Structure 1
Amino acid sequence: MELLQLQYFCKVARLEHMTKAAQELHIAQPALSKTISRLEEHVGVPLFDRNGRQIKLNAYGKAFLKKVEGALSLLEEGQRELIDMAGMERGRVMLATTTHKCFSDMIGSFLSVHQGVQMRITQASPEEKVQQLQSGEIDFCITFPPLEQDGIDGVNILTEEIMLAVPLTHRLASRERIDLAEVAHEPFICIKEGNPFRAMTDAFCKEAGFEPNLVCEVDEHSAVGHFLHAGIGIAFLPETLGDKVSSMRLIRIEKPLCLRTYQLAWRHDRYLSAASRTFRDYVIRYFAEMQRQAEMRP
Protein backbone atom coordinates (compact mmCIF):
# COMPACT_ATOMS: atom_id res chain seq x y z
CA MET A 1 0.00 0.00 0.00
CA GLU A 2 1.49 3.31 -1.11
CA LEU A 3 0.97 6.80 0.27
CA LEU A 4 0.00 8.09 -3.17
CA GLN A 5 -2.71 5.42 -3.44
CA LEU A 6 -4.24 6.62 -0.17
CA GLN A 7 -4.15 10.26 -1.23
CA TYR A 8 -5.80 9.41 -4.54
CA PHE A 9 -8.40 7.29 -2.76
CA CYS A 10 -9.37 10.21 -0.49
CA LYS A 11 -9.88 12.50 -3.47
CA VAL A 12 -12.04 9.99 -5.34
CA ALA A 13 -13.99 9.19 -2.16
CA ARG A 14 -14.83 12.85 -1.56
CA LEU A 15 -15.86 13.58 -5.16
CA GLU A 16 -17.32 10.16 -6.04
CA HIS A 17 -16.41 10.99 -9.63
CA MET A 18 -13.33 9.49 -11.26
CA THR A 19 -12.95 12.05 -14.06
CA LYS A 20 -13.30 15.08 -11.76
CA ALA A 21 -10.86 13.53 -9.30
CA ALA A 22 -8.34 12.91 -12.08
CA GLN A 23 -8.66 16.52 -13.22
CA GLU A 24 -8.06 17.87 -9.73
CA LEU A 25 -5.11 15.52 -9.24
CA HIS A 26 -3.71 16.43 -12.69
CA ILE A 27 -3.35 12.81 -13.79
CA ALA A 28 -4.96 10.73 -16.54
CA GLN A 29 -8.29 9.14 -15.63
CA PRO A 30 -7.23 5.59 -16.68
CA ALA A 31 -4.14 5.85 -14.46
CA LEU A 32 -6.28 6.93 -11.51
CA SER A 33 -8.75 4.08 -12.08
CA LYS A 34 -5.88 1.60 -12.18
CA THR A 35 -4.44 3.01 -8.94
CA ILE A 36 -7.78 2.63 -7.14
CA SER A 37 -8.19 -0.92 -8.49
CA ARG A 38 -4.72 -1.88 -7.18
CA LEU A 39 -5.62 -0.45 -3.76
CA GLU A 40 -8.83 -2.48 -3.69
CA GLU A 41 -6.86 -5.60 -4.59
CA HIS A 42 -4.47 -4.87 -1.73
CA VAL A 43 -7.18 -4.40 0.93
CA GLY A 44 -9.15 -7.36 -0.42
CA VAL A 45 -12.58 -5.71 -0.77
CA PRO A 46 -14.19 -3.23 -3.18
CA LEU A 47 -14.24 0.31 -1.80
CA PHE A 48 -16.73 1.67 -4.31
CA ASP A 49 -20.00 0.49 -5.83
CA ARG A 50 -19.85 0.91 -9.59
CA ASN A 51 -22.80 1.37 -11.91
CA GLY A 52 -21.54 2.04 -15.40
CA ARG A 53 -19.47 5.22 -15.20
CA GLN A 54 -20.90 6.17 -11.81
CA ILE A 55 -19.11 5.29 -8.58
CA LYS A 56 -20.25 5.58 -4.99
CA LEU A 57 -18.35 4.93 -1.78
CA ASN A 58 -19.68 1.74 -0.17
CA ALA A 59 -19.70 0.65 3.49
CA TYR A 60 -16.14 -0.75 3.21
CA GLY A 61 -14.98 2.48 1.60
CA LYS A 62 -16.61 4.69 4.24
CA ALA A 63 -14.96 2.75 7.06
CA PHE A 64 -11.59 2.79 5.29
CA LEU A 65 -11.86 6.53 4.49
CA LYS A 66 -12.11 7.46 8.16
CA LYS A 67 -8.90 5.58 8.96
CA VAL A 68 -7.04 6.85 5.91
CA GLU A 69 -7.96 10.49 6.60
CA GLY A 70 -6.81 10.09 10.18
CA ALA A 71 -3.52 8.49 9.12
CA LEU A 72 -2.80 11.13 6.46
CA SER A 73 -3.62 13.90 8.90
CA LEU A 74 -1.22 12.47 11.48
CA LEU A 75 1.53 12.16 8.88
CA GLU A 76 1.05 15.77 7.79
CA GLU A 77 1.03 17.00 11.38
CA GLY A 78 4.19 15.05 12.10
CA GLN A 79 5.89 16.59 9.10
CA ARG A 80 4.81 20.10 10.11
CA GLU A 81 6.02 19.56 13.66
CA LEU A 82 9.43 18.42 12.43
CA ILE A 83 9.62 21.42 10.11
CA ASP A 84 8.83 23.70 13.05
CA MET A 85 11.52 22.01 15.15
CA ALA A 86 14.11 22.26 12.39
CA GLY A 87 13.17 25.82 11.46
CA MET A 88 13.12 24.90 7.77
CA GLU A 89 10.28 27.23 6.78
CA ARG A 90 8.77 30.45 7.96
CA GLY A 91 5.30 28.99 8.09
CA ARG A 92 2.05 28.23 6.30
CA VAL A 93 -1.55 28.76 7.39
CA MET A 94 -4.60 27.17 5.73
CA LEU A 95 -7.85 29.05 6.31
CA ALA A 96 -11.45 28.78 5.16
CA THR A 97 -13.32 32.03 5.54
CA THR A 98 -16.10 34.25 4.20
CA THR A 99 -16.10 37.27 1.91
CA HIS A 100 -16.62 39.62 4.88
CA LYS A 101 -14.54 42.78 4.46
CA CYS A 102 -13.41 42.70 8.11
CA PHE A 103 -11.67 39.37 7.55
CA SER A 104 -9.95 40.32 4.30
CA ASP A 105 -8.68 43.47 6.03
CA MET A 106 -7.44 41.40 8.96
CA ILE A 107 -5.65 38.90 6.71
CA GLY A 108 -3.98 41.71 4.79
CA SER A 109 -2.86 43.28 8.06
CA PHE A 110 -1.45 39.96 9.30
CA LEU A 111 0.52 39.33 6.11
CA SER A 112 1.96 42.84 6.16
CA VAL A 113 3.39 42.12 9.63
CA HIS A 114 4.37 38.48 8.99
CA GLN A 115 5.59 38.65 5.40
CA GLY A 116 7.28 35.26 5.46
CA VAL A 117 4.07 33.37 6.25
CA GLN A 118 2.35 31.63 3.35
CA MET A 119 -1.44 31.55 3.45
CA ARG A 120 -3.90 29.43 1.52
CA ILE A 121 -7.39 30.89 1.76
CA THR A 122 -10.58 29.23 0.54
CA GLN A 123 -14.31 29.91 0.76
CA ALA A 124 -16.62 27.16 1.91
CA SER A 125 -20.08 26.53 3.29
CA PRO A 126 -20.43 25.87 7.05
CA GLU A 127 -20.80 22.15 6.33
CA GLU A 128 -17.71 22.11 4.12
CA LYS A 129 -15.70 23.97 6.76
CA VAL A 130 -16.49 21.31 9.36
CA GLN A 131 -15.50 18.56 6.93
CA GLN A 132 -12.26 20.33 6.02
CA LEU A 133 -11.37 20.87 9.68
CA GLN A 134 -12.02 17.24 10.52
CA SER A 135 -10.06 15.95 7.52
CA GLY A 136 -7.10 18.25 8.23
CA GLU A 137 -7.37 20.15 4.93
CA ILE A 138 -7.41 23.46 6.82
CA ASP A 139 -5.96 24.76 10.09
CA PHE A 140 -8.77 27.21 10.84
CA CYS A 141 -12.13 28.37 9.67
CA ILE A 142 -13.96 31.62 10.32
CA THR A 143 -17.66 30.86 10.52
CA PHE A 144 -21.05 31.81 11.82
CA PRO A 145 -22.97 30.63 13.66
CA PRO A 146 -20.20 29.35 15.99
CA LEU A 147 -19.50 25.63 15.73
CA GLU A 148 -20.50 23.54 18.71
CA GLN A 149 -19.11 20.10 17.98
CA ASP A 150 -16.98 17.62 19.87
CA GLY A 151 -13.35 17.83 18.85
CA ILE A 152 -13.54 21.43 17.62
CA ASP A 153 -12.22 24.35 19.66
CA GLY A 154 -12.98 27.97 18.92
CA VAL A 155 -13.05 31.55 20.10
CA ASN A 156 -15.66 34.17 19.24
CA ILE A 157 -13.86 37.02 17.52
CA LEU A 158 -16.48 39.38 16.11
CA THR A 159 -20.04 40.22 17.09
CA GLU A 160 -21.78 42.71 14.84
CA GLU A 161 -25.18 44.34 14.85
CA ILE A 162 -27.63 43.51 12.08
CA MET A 163 -29.48 46.64 11.02
CA LEU A 164 -32.41 47.57 8.83
CA ALA A 165 -31.48 49.27 5.55
CA VAL A 166 -34.12 51.48 3.87
CA PRO A 167 -33.96 53.79 0.81
CA LEU A 168 -33.26 57.45 1.56
CA THR A 169 -36.77 58.30 0.38
CA HIS A 170 -38.47 55.73 2.62
CA ARG A 171 -41.00 56.90 5.21
CA LEU A 172 -38.75 55.50 7.98
CA ALA A 173 -35.51 57.06 6.72
CA SER A 174 -35.54 59.70 9.48
CA ARG A 175 -35.70 57.10 12.25
CA GLU A 176 -32.68 56.21 14.39
CA ARG A 177 -34.18 53.10 15.99
CA ILE A 178 -37.09 50.80 15.35
CA ASP A 179 -38.86 47.69 16.59
CA LEU A 180 -38.75 45.05 13.87
CA ALA A 181 -42.48 44.39 14.22
CA GLU A 182 -43.11 47.86 12.77
CA VAL A 183 -42.02 46.68 9.31
CA ALA A 184 -44.00 43.44 9.26
CA HIS A 185 -45.87 44.51 6.11
CA GLU A 186 -42.94 46.09 4.28
CA PRO A 187 -41.48 44.42 1.14
CA PHE A 188 -38.11 42.78 1.89
CA ILE A 189 -34.99 42.24 -0.19
CA CYS A 190 -33.42 39.07 1.22
CA ILE A 191 -30.40 36.83 0.74
CA LYS A 192 -31.39 33.55 -0.91
CA GLU A 193 -32.50 30.57 1.15
CA GLY A 194 -29.72 28.19 2.14
CA ASN A 195 -27.44 31.03 3.25
CA PRO A 196 -26.85 31.19 7.04
CA PHE A 197 -27.56 34.94 6.97
CA ARG A 198 -31.03 34.28 5.53
CA ALA A 199 -31.78 31.67 8.19
CA MET A 200 -30.71 34.14 10.87
CA THR A 201 -32.81 37.05 9.58
CA ASP A 202 -35.85 34.80 9.08
CA ALA A 203 -35.45 33.86 12.76
CA PHE A 204 -35.35 37.57 13.71
CA CYS A 205 -38.62 38.14 11.85
CA LYS A 206 -40.23 35.09 13.44
CA GLU A 207 -39.24 36.39 16.88
CA ALA A 208 -40.90 39.70 15.96
CA GLY A 209 -44.09 37.83 15.05
CA PHE A 210 -44.12 37.81 11.24
CA GLU A 211 -42.71 36.25 8.08
CA PRO A 212 -40.92 38.67 5.72
CA ASN A 213 -42.89 39.84 2.70
CA LEU A 214 -40.31 38.73 0.17
CA VAL A 215 -40.14 40.69 -3.10
CA CYS A 216 -36.52 40.06 -4.13
CA GLU A 217 -33.83 37.45 -3.41
CA VAL A 218 -30.13 38.09 -4.04
CA ASP A 219 -26.98 36.00 -3.83
CA GLU A 220 -24.91 38.37 -1.71
CA HIS A 221 -25.00 41.67 0.15
CA SER A 222 -23.27 43.59 -2.64
CA ALA A 223 -26.44 43.26 -4.75
CA VAL A 224 -28.73 44.69 -2.07
CA GLY A 225 -27.71 48.31 -2.68
CA HIS A 226 -28.92 48.28 -6.29
CA PHE A 227 -32.43 47.22 -5.31
CA LEU A 228 -32.51 49.58 -2.34
CA HIS A 229 -31.62 52.45 -4.65
CA ALA A 230 -34.50 51.43 -6.93
CA GLY A 231 -36.88 51.61 -3.95
CA ILE A 232 -37.99 48.01 -4.33
CA GLY A 233 -37.92 47.23 -0.61
CA ILE A 234 -35.98 47.21 2.64
CA ALA A 235 -33.26 44.79 3.77
CA PHE A 236 -31.19 43.48 6.63
CA LEU A 237 -27.52 44.47 6.50
CA PRO A 238 -24.59 44.01 8.90
CA GLU A 239 -23.45 47.33 10.35
CA THR A 240 -19.92 46.70 9.05
CA LEU A 241 -21.21 46.77 5.46
CA GLY A 242 -23.23 49.95 5.86
CA ASP A 243 -20.53 52.15 4.37
CA LYS A 244 -20.62 50.07 1.17
CA VAL A 245 -24.01 51.44 0.09
CA SER A 246 -24.52 55.21 -0.10
CA SER A 247 -28.12 55.28 -1.29
CA MET A 248 -29.66 54.03 1.95
CA ARG A 249 -30.28 54.71 5.59
CA LEU A 250 -29.31 52.24 8.34
CA ILE A 251 -31.71 51.98 11.29
CA ARG A 252 -30.89 50.19 14.54
CA ILE A 253 -33.30 47.42 15.54
CA GLU A 254 -34.16 47.71 19.23
CA LYS A 255 -36.31 44.60 19.47
CA PRO A 256 -35.53 41.79 19.03
CA LEU A 257 -31.77 41.94 19.59
CA CYS A 258 -30.27 41.36 16.15
CA LEU A 259 -26.65 40.27 16.35
CA ARG A 260 -24.42 37.71 14.67
CA THR A 261 -21.20 36.27 16.04
CA TYR A 262 -18.24 34.94 14.08
CA GLN A 263 -15.92 32.29 15.45
CA LEU A 264 -12.36 31.27 14.67
CA ALA A 265 -12.39 27.47 14.96
CA TRP A 266 -9.78 24.72 14.79
CA ARG A 267 -9.58 21.00 15.47
CA HIS A 268 -8.78 20.24 19.10
CA ASP A 269 -6.31 17.43 18.46
CA ARG A 270 -4.60 18.89 15.39
CA TYR A 271 -1.00 20.03 15.68
CA LEU A 272 -0.78 23.75 14.94
CA SER A 273 2.48 25.02 13.52
CA ALA A 274 4.23 28.05 14.96
CA ALA A 275 2.84 30.11 12.06
CA SER A 276 -0.69 28.88 12.80
CA ARG A 277 -0.41 29.70 16.49
CA THR A 278 0.93 33.15 15.61
CA PHE A 279 -2.01 33.68 13.26
CA ARG A 280 -4.55 32.60 15.89
CA ASP A 281 -3.11 34.99 18.48
CA TYR A 282 -3.03 37.81 15.93
CA VAL A 283 -6.70 37.32 14.97
CA ILE A 284 -7.79 37.40 18.61
CA ARG A 285 -5.80 40.59 19.31
CA TYR A 286 -6.95 42.25 16.07
CA PHE A 287 -10.66 41.91 16.78
CA ALA A 288 -10.27 42.68 20.48
CA GLU A 289 -8.68 45.99 19.47
CA MET A 290 -11.43 46.60 16.90
CA GLN A 291 -14.03 46.06 19.63
CA ARG A 292 -12.18 48.38 22.01
CA GLN A 293 -12.07 51.14 19.43
CA ALA A 294 -15.78 50.68 18.65
CA GLU A 295 -16.67 51.04 22.33
CA MET A 296 -14.69 54.29 22.53
CA ARG A 297 -16.65 55.93 19.70
CA PRO A 298 -19.41 58.35 20.78
Structure 2
Amino acid sequence: MLKPGTVLRGKWSQQEFVVQQRLGSGANGEVYQATQTGKGNALVALKVSAVSADIASEWRLLSDLASASPAFVQPVLMDDDALGKPFFYVMELISGDTLPVAAKSLGDPDLDRLFGDYLSALSSLHEKGYAFCDVKPENLLVERKSERRARLVDIGGVTSFGRSVRQYTPTYDRGFWGLGSRTADAAYDLVGLALVFLFLRQPPPADLMQSPLESRRKWLYSILSQLTPAPRRNSVLVGILESRIRSAETAVQMLQASPAVSTSGAARVSVSQAERMDWTERFMWFSVSSATAATLAAWVVLLKSS
Protein backbone atom coordinates (compact mmCIF):
# COMPACT_ATOMS: atom_id res chain seq x y z
CA MET A 1 0.00 0.00 0.00
CA LEU A 2 1.37 3.40 -1.02
CA LYS A 3 1.21 6.29 1.42
CA PRO A 4 -0.03 9.77 0.43
CA GLY A 5 2.90 11.78 -0.86
CA THR A 6 4.66 8.78 -2.43
CA VAL A 7 6.21 9.76 -5.76
CA LEU A 8 6.29 7.38 -8.70
CA ARG A 9 8.59 8.33 -11.56
CA GLY A 10 8.21 6.58 -14.89
CA LYS A 11 11.40 4.88 -16.00
CA TRP A 12 10.59 5.39 -19.67
CA SER A 13 8.22 8.36 -19.75
CA GLN A 14 10.10 10.39 -17.09
CA GLN A 15 6.71 11.51 -15.83
CA GLU A 16 6.20 11.94 -12.06
CA PHE A 17 3.06 11.11 -10.16
CA VAL A 18 2.35 12.05 -6.53
CA VAL A 19 -0.04 9.71 -4.71
CA GLN A 20 -2.91 11.49 -2.95
CA GLN A 21 -5.20 8.75 -1.70
CA ARG A 22 -6.18 5.13 -2.17
CA LEU A 23 -9.36 4.66 -4.19
CA GLY A 24 -9.75 0.89 -3.96
CA SER A 25 -8.20 -2.50 -4.54
CA GLY A 26 -8.84 -5.61 -6.58
CA ALA A 27 -7.42 -9.02 -7.29
CA ASN A 28 -4.65 -7.58 -9.47
CA GLY A 29 -3.52 -4.52 -7.53
CA GLU A 30 -4.55 -1.22 -6.00
CA VAL A 31 -5.88 2.03 -7.47
CA TYR A 32 -4.82 5.48 -6.27
CA GLN A 33 -5.70 9.06 -7.03
CA ALA A 34 -2.59 11.03 -7.95
CA THR A 35 -1.40 14.28 -9.47
CA GLN A 36 0.75 14.28 -12.60
CA THR A 37 3.46 16.87 -12.03
CA GLY A 38 4.59 18.90 -15.02
CA LYS A 39 1.11 18.57 -16.54
CA GLY A 40 -0.56 21.28 -14.51
CA ASN A 41 -0.88 18.84 -11.61
CA ALA A 42 -3.65 17.06 -13.48
CA LEU A 43 -5.58 14.50 -11.46
CA VAL A 44 -5.24 10.91 -12.69
CA ALA A 45 -5.81 7.38 -11.42
CA LEU A 46 -2.94 4.92 -10.97
CA LYS A 47 -3.25 1.14 -11.01
CA VAL A 48 -0.20 -0.39 -9.30
CA SER A 49 0.88 -4.00 -8.91
CA ALA A 50 3.97 -5.97 -7.98
CA VAL A 51 3.33 -8.25 -10.97
CA SER A 52 4.31 -6.71 -14.30
CA ALA A 53 2.35 -9.31 -16.30
CA ASP A 54 -0.92 -8.29 -14.59
CA ILE A 55 -0.33 -4.62 -15.34
CA ALA A 56 0.63 -5.32 -18.97
CA SER A 57 -2.40 -7.56 -19.50
CA GLU A 58 -4.85 -5.04 -18.03
CA TRP A 59 -3.25 -2.21 -19.99
CA ARG A 60 -3.72 -4.01 -23.30
CA LEU A 61 -7.33 -4.82 -22.47
CA LEU A 62 -8.07 -1.29 -21.21
CA SER A 63 -6.63 0.20 -24.41
CA ASP A 64 -8.74 -2.17 -26.49
CA LEU A 65 -11.96 -1.44 -24.58
CA ALA A 66 -11.44 2.32 -24.56
CA SER A 67 -11.40 2.28 -28.36
CA ALA A 68 -14.60 0.21 -28.44
CA SER A 69 -16.75 2.26 -26.06
CA PRO A 70 -16.41 5.67 -24.38
CA ALA A 71 -18.00 4.18 -21.26
CA PHE A 72 -14.74 2.49 -20.31
CA VAL A 73 -11.91 4.38 -18.61
CA GLN A 74 -9.47 6.05 -21.01
CA PRO A 75 -5.80 4.94 -20.64
CA VAL A 76 -2.95 7.49 -20.41
CA LEU A 77 0.34 5.58 -20.18
CA MET A 78 2.03 2.47 -18.76
CA ASP A 79 5.48 2.50 -17.18
CA ASP A 80 7.89 0.98 -14.64
CA ASP A 81 8.87 2.96 -11.58
CA ALA A 82 12.44 4.22 -11.90
CA LEU A 83 13.17 3.46 -8.23
CA GLY A 84 11.98 -0.13 -8.33
CA LYS A 85 8.56 0.47 -6.81
CA PRO A 86 5.41 -1.25 -8.21
CA PHE A 87 4.66 -1.49 -11.91
CA PHE A 88 1.83 0.85 -12.84
CA TYR A 89 -0.36 2.32 -15.51
CA VAL A 90 -2.10 5.68 -15.58
CA MET A 91 -5.69 6.24 -16.58
CA GLU A 92 -8.38 8.88 -16.60
CA LEU A 93 -9.78 9.82 -13.19
CA ILE A 94 -13.56 9.89 -13.46
CA SER A 95 -15.40 12.51 -11.45
CA GLY A 96 -18.63 10.73 -10.67
CA ASP A 97 -20.86 8.89 -8.24
CA THR A 98 -21.75 5.25 -7.98
CA LEU A 99 -25.06 4.39 -9.62
CA PRO A 100 -27.03 4.06 -6.32
CA VAL A 101 -25.83 7.49 -5.17
CA ALA A 102 -26.60 9.14 -8.52
CA ALA A 103 -29.99 7.39 -8.74
CA LYS A 104 -31.27 9.34 -5.74
CA SER A 105 -31.46 12.48 -7.86
CA LEU A 106 -32.46 10.88 -11.16
CA GLY A 107 -35.87 10.05 -12.59
CA ASP A 108 -36.94 6.97 -14.54
CA PRO A 109 -36.10 8.42 -17.99
CA ASP A 110 -32.50 9.00 -16.89
CA LEU A 111 -32.26 5.57 -15.29
CA ASP A 112 -33.66 3.95 -18.43
CA ARG A 113 -31.03 5.80 -20.48
CA LEU A 114 -28.22 4.77 -18.14
CA PHE A 115 -29.41 1.16 -18.21
CA GLY A 116 -29.19 1.25 -21.99
CA ASP A 117 -25.75 2.88 -21.89
CA TYR A 118 -24.34 0.18 -19.60
CA LEU A 119 -25.86 -2.48 -21.85
CA SER A 120 -24.27 -0.88 -24.92
CA ALA A 121 -20.85 -0.83 -23.24
CA LEU A 122 -21.19 -4.47 -22.22
CA SER A 123 -22.25 -5.34 -25.76
CA SER A 124 -18.99 -3.83 -27.07
CA LEU A 125 -17.07 -5.94 -24.56
CA HIS A 126 -19.00 -9.10 -25.44
CA GLU A 127 -18.25 -8.64 -29.14
CA LYS A 128 -14.59 -9.09 -28.24
CA GLY A 129 -15.34 -12.39 -26.47
CA TYR A 130 -15.08 -11.14 -22.90
CA ALA A 131 -17.42 -10.84 -19.92
CA PHE A 132 -16.99 -8.03 -17.38
CA CYS A 133 -18.03 -10.44 -14.58
CA ASP A 134 -17.80 -8.16 -11.52
CA VAL A 135 -20.83 -6.01 -12.33
CA LYS A 136 -21.67 -4.20 -9.08
CA PRO A 137 -22.63 -0.64 -8.01
CA GLU A 138 -19.03 0.31 -7.15
CA ASN A 139 -17.99 -0.39 -10.74
CA LEU A 140 -20.91 1.48 -12.33
CA LEU A 141 -20.28 5.22 -12.18
CA VAL A 142 -22.34 8.17 -13.36
CA GLU A 143 -20.35 11.28 -14.27
CA ARG A 144 -21.12 14.49 -12.40
CA LYS A 145 -20.95 16.42 -15.67
CA SER A 146 -24.18 17.71 -17.20
CA GLU A 147 -24.39 14.73 -19.58
CA ARG A 148 -24.43 12.30 -16.62
CA ARG A 149 -22.71 9.66 -18.74
CA ALA A 150 -22.54 6.00 -17.70
CA ARG A 151 -19.00 4.75 -17.06
CA LEU A 152 -17.54 1.36 -16.11
CA VAL A 153 -14.41 1.02 -13.98
CA ASP A 154 -12.14 -1.79 -12.71
CA ILE A 155 -11.52 -4.31 -15.47
CA GLY A 156 -9.65 -6.66 -13.13
CA GLY A 157 -12.44 -9.24 -13.32
CA VAL A 158 -12.80 -9.28 -17.12
CA THR A 159 -12.69 -12.90 -18.27
CA SER A 160 -12.73 -14.68 -21.64
CA PHE A 161 -15.99 -16.40 -22.53
CA GLY A 162 -16.13 -19.99 -21.39
CA ARG A 163 -13.70 -19.61 -18.48
CA SER A 164 -14.65 -19.70 -14.79
CA VAL A 165 -15.52 -16.34 -13.24
CA ARG A 166 -12.68 -15.49 -10.88
CA GLN A 167 -13.81 -12.14 -9.47
CA TYR A 168 -17.43 -11.54 -8.44
CA THR A 169 -19.63 -10.10 -5.70
CA PRO A 170 -22.22 -12.57 -4.33
CA THR A 171 -25.08 -10.04 -4.22
CA TYR A 172 -24.88 -9.58 -8.00
CA ASP A 173 -23.70 -13.09 -8.93
CA ARG A 174 -26.16 -15.24 -10.88
CA GLY A 175 -24.85 -18.40 -9.19
CA PHE A 176 -25.68 -16.99 -5.76
CA TRP A 177 -29.34 -16.55 -6.79
CA GLY A 178 -29.52 -19.90 -8.56
CA LEU A 179 -29.94 -18.25 -11.95
CA GLY A 180 -27.05 -19.97 -13.71
CA SER A 181 -23.42 -20.99 -13.49
CA ARG A 182 -20.27 -18.99 -12.73
CA THR A 183 -18.97 -19.38 -16.27
CA ALA A 184 -18.12 -16.17 -18.11
CA ASP A 185 -20.61 -15.35 -20.85
CA ALA A 186 -22.79 -12.44 -21.94
CA ALA A 187 -25.75 -13.55 -19.83
CA TYR A 188 -23.61 -13.53 -16.68
CA ASP A 189 -23.09 -9.78 -17.08
CA LEU A 190 -26.74 -9.16 -17.96
CA VAL A 191 -27.95 -10.86 -14.78
CA GLY A 192 -25.51 -8.80 -12.71
CA LEU A 193 -26.66 -5.54 -14.31
CA ALA A 194 -30.34 -6.50 -13.94
CA LEU A 195 -29.83 -7.24 -10.24
CA VAL A 196 -28.07 -3.90 -9.69
CA PHE A 197 -30.99 -1.98 -11.20
CA LEU A 198 -33.58 -4.17 -9.49
CA PHE A 199 -31.97 -3.58 -6.09
CA LEU A 200 -32.06 0.18 -6.63
CA ARG A 201 -35.76 -0.23 -5.94
CA GLN A 202 -35.55 -2.83 -3.19
CA PRO A 203 -32.18 -3.84 -1.71
CA PRO A 204 -32.09 -7.40 -0.32
CA PRO A 205 -32.27 -7.61 3.51
CA ALA A 206 -28.90 -8.26 5.15
CA ASP A 207 -30.08 -11.49 6.79
CA LEU A 208 -31.28 -12.83 3.42
CA MET A 209 -27.69 -13.18 2.26
CA GLN A 210 -27.17 -15.94 4.85
CA SER A 211 -30.42 -17.73 3.98
CA PRO A 212 -30.76 -20.94 1.92
CA LEU A 213 -30.96 -20.63 -1.84
CA GLU A 214 -34.71 -21.32 -1.97
CA SER A 215 -35.39 -18.47 0.46
CA ARG A 216 -33.30 -16.10 -1.64
CA ARG A 217 -35.09 -17.14 -4.82
CA LYS A 218 -38.51 -16.73 -3.21
CA TRP A 219 -37.65 -13.21 -2.07
CA LEU A 220 -36.29 -12.33 -5.53
CA TYR A 221 -39.44 -13.58 -7.25
CA SER A 222 -41.61 -11.61 -4.84
CA ILE A 223 -39.80 -8.41 -5.84
CA LEU A 224 -40.12 -9.25 -9.53
CA SER A 225 -43.84 -9.88 -9.10
CA GLN A 226 -44.27 -6.28 -7.93
CA LEU A 227 -42.82 -4.75 -11.10
CA THR A 228 -45.12 -2.88 -13.45
CA PRO A 229 -44.68 -2.52 -17.24
CA ALA A 230 -43.39 1.02 -16.71
CA PRO A 231 -40.63 2.08 -16.77
CA ARG A 232 -39.56 0.24 -19.92
CA ARG A 233 -36.49 -1.33 -18.30
CA ASN A 234 -38.76 -3.45 -16.08
CA SER A 235 -39.76 -5.70 -18.97
CA VAL A 236 -36.11 -6.11 -19.90
CA LEU A 237 -35.13 -6.89 -16.29
CA VAL A 238 -37.72 -9.65 -16.11
CA GLY A 239 -36.66 -11.01 -19.50
CA ILE A 240 -33.03 -11.17 -18.39
CA LEU A 241 -33.74 -12.80 -15.04
CA GLU A 242 -35.98 -15.37 -16.76
CA SER A 243 -33.16 -16.17 -19.22
CA ARG A 244 -35.29 -15.08 -22.18
CA ILE A 245 -32.88 -12.24 -22.98
CA ARG A 246 -29.31 -13.50 -23.17
CA SER A 247 -27.50 -10.82 -25.17
CA ALA A 248 -26.87 -7.16 -24.44
CA GLU A 249 -27.61 -6.29 -28.06
CA THR A 250 -31.11 -7.77 -27.79
CA ALA A 251 -31.73 -5.90 -24.55
CA VAL A 252 -30.61 -2.61 -26.12
CA GLN A 253 -32.91 -3.17 -29.11
CA MET A 254 -35.86 -3.69 -26.78
CA LEU A 255 -35.09 -0.45 -24.97
CA GLN A 256 -34.65 1.48 -28.20
CA ALA A 257 -38.02 0.28 -29.46
CA SER A 258 -39.65 2.46 -26.83
CA PRO A 259 -40.20 6.16 -27.75
CA ALA A 260 -39.32 7.12 -24.17
CA VAL A 261 -35.84 5.64 -24.19
CA SER A 262 -32.60 6.36 -26.03
CA THR A 263 -29.00 5.34 -25.43
CA SER A 264 -25.67 7.08 -26.05
CA GLY A 265 -24.54 6.84 -29.65
CA ALA A 266 -27.97 5.59 -30.77
CA ALA A 267 -30.60 7.53 -32.68
CA ARG A 268 -33.56 8.67 -30.66
CA VAL A 269 -36.83 6.96 -31.54
CA SER A 270 -39.60 9.50 -32.01
CA VAL A 271 -43.31 8.92 -31.48
CA SER A 272 -43.92 9.02 -35.22
CA GLN A 273 -41.19 6.41 -35.74
CA ALA A 274 -42.75 4.23 -33.07
CA GLU A 275 -46.10 4.48 -34.82
CA ARG A 276 -44.42 3.24 -37.99
CA MET A 277 -43.03 0.08 -36.37
CA ASP A 278 -43.55 -2.82 -38.71
CA TRP A 279 -45.67 -5.83 -37.77
CA THR A 280 -42.62 -7.86 -36.68
CA GLU A 281 -41.72 -5.31 -33.99
CA ARG A 282 -45.32 -5.08 -32.84
CA PHE A 283 -45.54 -8.86 -32.66
CA MET A 284 -42.26 -8.97 -30.68
CA TRP A 285 -43.50 -6.48 -28.10
CA PHE A 286 -46.89 -8.19 -27.87
CA SER A 287 -45.14 -11.52 -27.20
CA VAL A 288 -42.77 -10.03 -24.63
CA SER A 289 -45.55 -8.15 -22.83
CA SER A 290 -47.80 -11.20 -22.76
CA ALA A 291 -45.02 -13.44 -21.46
CA THR A 292 -44.06 -10.92 -18.78
CA ALA A 293 -47.65 -10.46 -17.62
CA ALA A 294 -48.23 -14.21 -17.50
CA THR A 295 -45.02 -14.76 -15.57
CA LEU A 296 -45.79 -12.10 -13.00
CA ALA A 297 -49.29 -13.49 -12.53
CA ALA A 298 -47.86 -16.97 -12.01
CA TRP A 299 -45.44 -15.69 -9.36
CA VAL A 300 -48.25 -13.94 -7.52
CA VAL A 301 -50.25 -17.19 -7.42
CA LEU A 302 -47.18 -19.13 -6.33
CA LEU A 303 -46.35 -16.71 -3.55
CA LYS A 304 -49.94 -16.71 -2.24
CA SER A 305 -50.02 -20.48 -2.16
CA SER A 306 -46.63 -20.87 -0.43
- TM-score after normalising by structure 2: 0.26
- TM-score after normalising by structure 1: 0.26
Is the helix fraction higher in 1 or 2? 1
